[in-house]
Amino acid sequence: MQVKSGKPVVQVELPTDGKSGIGNIEVKNLGKGLVFTRLVMEGTPEAGREEDFSNRLTLQVTYQLADGKAFDISRVLQGADFYVVATVYNPGDYEYHQLAMTQVFPPGWEINNARLADLDLPDPGYNYQDIRDDRIITYFNLGKGEKKTFAVQINAAYQGKFYLPGVFCEAMYDNNIGAMRKGQMVEVISP
């Protein structure tokens, strides 16, 4: 593909086969001026193909019973209640503002929204939390060297095999700050 333009900035969408994600790109400057290139790739990883990563942020996700004991989510009895506990740590020397952590849950799990109960809850440590049917997006700031933990109660409501997507936390306006814990297959079985 050859691109010519008299404009200082040009954006070109490159065709892909949509499957392999593998390819080569070569840029040749046939003119006399400087050319700067930037490659932006977007997409959703195929289920089970996400990779753990930490970039200037650390994210740990555990699953626990009400007593704090570790809980194996690969096979859960229908009706079981447990907690998803996400801990985010800032190992850097700068305060991070406007972080967003996205947790998407499988169709067989239901979120127990504690805000709907008439409870006097302590300060949750976040600026805002958007709770939907299948996901929670938590918005917060994190000081240098600070660690915050967010827990949500889950009920294994419906039987079946489901994919639990990875948990992702990122700075909303800085793509260089983020962390992810990959997802996995889970099963809700009859009691």
**CATH code of the domain in which 114 resides:** 2.60.40.690
> Alpha-carbon distance 109 to 13, whole Å?
38
In 65-173, DSSP assigns E strands to 75-77, 81-89, 96-104, 109-112, 128-131, 135-142, 147-156, 160-164, 167-171
In a domain, 157, yes or no: yes
> Cα 160 to chain center, whole Å?
23
User: Does residue 43 lie within any of the structural domains?
Assistant: no
Does residue 81 fall inside a structural domain?
yes
What's the pLDDT tens digit per position in 34-57?
888 887 777 666 777 889 999 999
The verdict on residue 101 lying in a domain is yes
**What does pTM read for this prediction?**
0.78
91: which 2 tokens?
């190992």
Domain count of the fold of the chain = 1
- Does a structural domain hold residue 108? yes
Say if 87 falls within a structural domain: yes
Task: Confirm whether 167 is domain-assigned.
Answer: yes
CA 118, 121, 127, 131 dihedral sign is negative
Query: What's the pLDDT at 20?
Result: 62
Domain that residue 113 falls in: 53-189
Return the structure tokens found at 65.
Answer: 């019973």
pLDDT in tens, 143-179: 999 999 999 999 999 999 999 999 999 999 999 999 9
Per-residue pLDDT tens over the stretch 89-113: 999 999 999 999 999 999 999 999 8
Answer whether residue 117 shows pLDDT above 80.
Answer: no
Specify if 182 maps to a domain: yes
